[in-house]
Chains A and B, each alone.
Chain A
Amino acid sequence: MNKGKSIEFIKKYTMIIMLILITAFFAWRTGGAILLPMNVSSLISQNAYVFILATGMLLCILTGGNIDLSVGSVVCFVGAIGAVLMANMKVNIVVAILVMLLVGIAIGAWQGFWIAFVRIPPFIVTLAGMLIFRGLSNVVLDGLTISIKDCTTFVNLFGGGANCYIPNFASDTSLNMTCMVAGIIAMIIYILTQINGRVQKQKKGYETEKTVPMVLKMVVISAVILLFTYKLAQHKGIPTVLIWVLIVIMVYGYITSNTTIGRYFYAVGGNEKATKLSGINTNKVYFLAYLNMGFLSALAGMVTIARMTSAQPTYGQNYEMDAIASCFIGGASAYGGIGTVPGVIVGAVLMGVINLGMSLMGVDQNMQKVVKGLVLLAAVIFDVVSKRGGKLISKN
């Protein structure tokens, strides 16, 4: 590998390399505790809301570095409504879920309308939303905590409590076999789609990836899938919330990379005028970004109350910051037009690992915030400076 190529390699996989280094650092400092199956599993369930919100936030950021400050409050508000419906009013859980999603979508439509069609700056609209929905959460909950411990189906479905794992079909093994089988199936599906894509390309006579790097990549990713499922299987298996997270990641990963509407998000952020002159309705693109953010906030709200088995007026605080930070650490551009779902997920995992690692090391909560802030700043500085060709100071 020559020098130019290796620099490109490092640039492309910076965050993954960082993730490996940071994980290794914490593994060393915690005596391997961070790699214990229990901790790997809790990394997922603790950060599920970040994965979901960061995916939605990516779409907003893609349209031009626009952020949504209201998601934390919306998470709380939707959760509050759900808890009131299920615990106090004993509404059927399917109805409750539908209502929660619809409320999220309605909030998204409300904010999206002002942002996309009236062109009120997103910062203002969502700052207002942050206040409005935090206040409304308090109103709905009457300032109290509502427990949803008794709504077991809901809690199990969205991954709260102690038993929210996919059951082991071979009940007498210590290793969760469901989890292992699922991992192996996932690996096989992954390899088959890769090979199929390659064959299809060859059939049509298109250029294909070089064989050696492709095989290497497949081996590495397969190994990661197996190792990850093995860790989970050693604990209690697949947390139910992981299913939701995976669905969100896969659906949005597909939308952003393979569909026309996904392409429009990137185009608007890359050059709005050019996009408009290409016959694309840019207002609609902005609207969809925020509509979708409302929808995913609702999903995150459900995951949050399920995990806490209650709703409280203080839930969801700073969630928006976690989501935004994950996007920027994961390589989304603060000016829009650049960023991927896998990148954002890596960013979210990185944040999660730092959180978990520092907690395991017993670092003071406040210092944790300092470290997270510095990581965010460093990631964006790196992004901006590397785009400027390595020059630190901007010339005018």
Chain B
Amino acid sequence: MAKILLEMKNITKTFPGVKALDNVNLQVEEGEIHALVGENGAGKSTLMNVLSGIYPFGTYEGDIIYDGNVCRFNEIKDSEAKGIVIIHQELALIPYMTIGENMFLGNERGNKYKINWNETYNEAGKLLQTVGLHENPRTLIKDIGVGKQQLVEIAKALAKKAKLLILDEPTASLNETDSKALLDLLLKFKEQGMTSIIISHKLNEVSYVADKITVIRDGATIETLEKNKDDFSESRIIKGMVGRELSDRFPKREKNIGETMIEVKDWNVYHPLYAERKVVDSVNFYARKGEVLGISGLMGAGRTELAMSLFGKSYGQNISGKLILKGKEVVLDSVQDAIKNRLAYVTEDRKGNGLILSNPIKINTTLANLDSISKHTVIDKDKEYQIAEEYKVKLKTKCPSVEQNVGNLSGGNQQKVLLAKWMFANPDILILDEPTRGIDVGAKYEIYCIINQLVAEGKTVIMISSELPEILGMCDRIYVMNEGKMVGEVEGEKASQELIMSMILQSGRKGA
């Protein structure tokens, strides 16, 4: 048996209100490729952030034993000094710098006073050869494709003398050919003695490349499967990932579904910066009055992009397709148009795109519909206060007063303020994007109750969520989206986690 290079022992990490990791154990042998799999939010990335020192020593419990020593990393530099290098899902490259500059950023060749550019580009060139990228190291990052950028990231890691390479969803934005090349590169490195940890949703890739697979679910390690010893089939892995009982976590409601309220036909959206990248691909769907429609999929499937492009073209370019609201085709060129046509989009990023944290609850509540409480542009502040109070009571927002700044509220209460804001805008159709992300179980239940209340009032709710149990527990009908396409549609009663997962995974393979 080979030497254990890394052991993570009883790692526990808590965020305010949430236990993200609960006694997680992980053993990685030298020279193996170890895969981490699990649903979104299971805790994979958190675990890797603990390992790399992004969450410094002292903010978690448990031990990291690397190369025989207990390690206490205070920042990324500490872990990198030991040869642990993490490559994040979101590429951390600077578009207007050259490949070479990016590779040696923070790790510059030369001395304190002068960067040695010849050495930089010479070494960069050699490392690019190692990863099989035939590009001039003086090329700007923005001028090469995503697949090549991923290779630059790996070359950058090699420049740091990586001994343990951690890749978080390395193939998420790559096409099949690039993915295959990347995986083969990992296998080649393995032969040269490199150890890697790979996080991936693409189970076919995982079974192809990994020696061991550790399954994480709800912040705990469930099992570790070994190649040639255990069953490595996708269905076996999925069982480990989702094997959880659904209980009474969702309030019941009476179904009362009416006519079609929104219909989208052949909807295409391109990336706002990279015009050739298609983010939403010929999407068709519809939703009815009184219906909770779920859109399921993995992160990066294009769900948020679809929703925002429908909401007054607030995302993307070259948007094409038909949007039919209440039987009438409409063109919504701005958010104003969308709101006027009684459409609301409740963002997944409540702090970044949803709320004004430095302003009180009452101001946030009325922002999307100020005209209704003002006369000749003069705001009736008493009315504003009254409305904010109304919604505070209706949604059971916990706060000392509606004068409270939103920034001081908990995530769940912030979410309620955001919902109040859009309910006050009086829409017929609400698109809720990850409405329960990052909030505790109790608040989740209350959000579900609000959703039930909305459809009971005859509104249409389109719920985008990465949490399968929530989609299954709440939705009347579910669409499955993957890589910009709608890849499946299923009635709520007939759906199961296994079915949805396999829809996603199979569509991923069809793309090959």
Contacts and interface: CB of A to CB of B under 8 A. Distances in A.
Bound together: yes
A273 B314 CA distance: 10
A204 B338 CA distance: 34
A40 B429 CA distance: 60
B291 to A, nearest CB: 24
Contact of A337 (B338, B353, B359, B381): B359
B335 A277 contact: yes
Interface in A192-243: 200-201, 204, 206-207
B379 A337 contact: no
A263 B363 contact: yes
A342 interface: no
B39 to A, nearest CB: 28
B367 A267 contact: yes
B390 to A, nearest CB: 12
B386 interface: yes
Contacts of A261: 377
A338 B356 CA distance: 11
B358 A274 contact: no
Contacts, number: 82
A145 interface: no
Interface string B376-406: 0111011001100000000000000000000
Given A206-B385, A258-B378, A261-B377, A277 B354 contact: yes
B347 interface: yes
A70 B133 CA distance: 50
A394 interface: no
A279 interface: yes
A260 B371 contact: yes
Interface string B421-465: 100000000000000000000000000000000000000000000
Contacts of B336: 279, 281
Nearest to B363: A263
A260 B363 CA distance: 11
Given A201-B382, A277-B335, A267 B359 contact: yes
B435 to A, nearest CB: 15
Given A259-B374, A267-B367, A337-B356, A279 B382 contact: no
A275 B363 CA distance: 12
Given A267-B367, A273-B352, A278-B368, A259 B379 contact: yes
Contacts of B381: 258
B270 interface: no
B143 to A, nearest CB: 24
Contact of B378 (A259, A267, A337): A259
Contacts of B339: 279
A179 to B, nearest CB: 31
Contacts of B69: none
Contacts of B355: 271, 274
A266 interface: yes
Interface string A254-285: 00001111010011001101111111110000
Contacts of A206: 382, 385-386
A271 B407 CA distance: 12
Nearest to A276: B335
Contacts of B421: 278
- B339, B347, B377 pick with most chain A CB within 10 angstroms: B377
Interface in A261-317: 261, 263, 266-267, 270-271, 273-281
B345 interface: yes
B87 interface: no
Interface residues of B, number: 32
A263 B91 CA distance: 37
B335 A278 contact: yes
A277 B314 contact: yes
A277 B422 CA distance: 11
A263 B371 CA distance: 11
Contacts of B386: 204, 206
Contacts of B368: 278-279
B370 interface: yes
B490 interface: no
B358 A337 contact: yes
- B335, B356, B378, B381 pick with most chain A CB within 10 angstroms: B356
Given A201-B382, A277-B353, A279-B334, A270 B374 contact: no
A213 to B, nearest CB: 15
B24 interface: no
A174 to B, nearest CB: 43
A312 B112 CA distance: 52
B402 to A, nearest CB: 10
Contacts of B374: 259-260
Contact of B379 (A204, A207, A258, A276): A258
Nearest to B384: A263
Contact of A263 (B334, B338, B347, B379): B379
A260 B382 contact: no
A271 B357 contact: yes
B339 to A, nearest CB: 4
Interface string B17-31: 000000000000000
Nearest to B356: A270
Contacts of A271: 352-353, 355-357
A258 B359 CA distance: 15
Contact of B382 (A200, A267, A337): A200
A260 B368 CA distance: 11
3 closest Cβ contacts across the A-B interface? A270-B356, A278-B368, A279-B335
Interface of A: 200-201, 204, 206-207, 258-261, 263, 266-267, 270-271, 273-281, 333, 337-338
Interface of B: 311-312, 314, 334-336, 338-339, 345, 347, 352-359, 363, 367-368, 370-371, 374, 377-379, 381-382, 385-386, 421
15 contacts: A206-B386, A263-B367, A263-B379, A267-B367, A270-B358, A271-B357, A274-B347, A277-B335, A277-B345, A278-B335, A279-B312, A279-B338, A280-B367, A333-B358, A337-B356
Given A277-B311, A277-B314, 8 more contacts: A260-B378, A270-B356, A270-B359, A277-B345, A277-B347, A281-B334, A281-B336, A337-B356
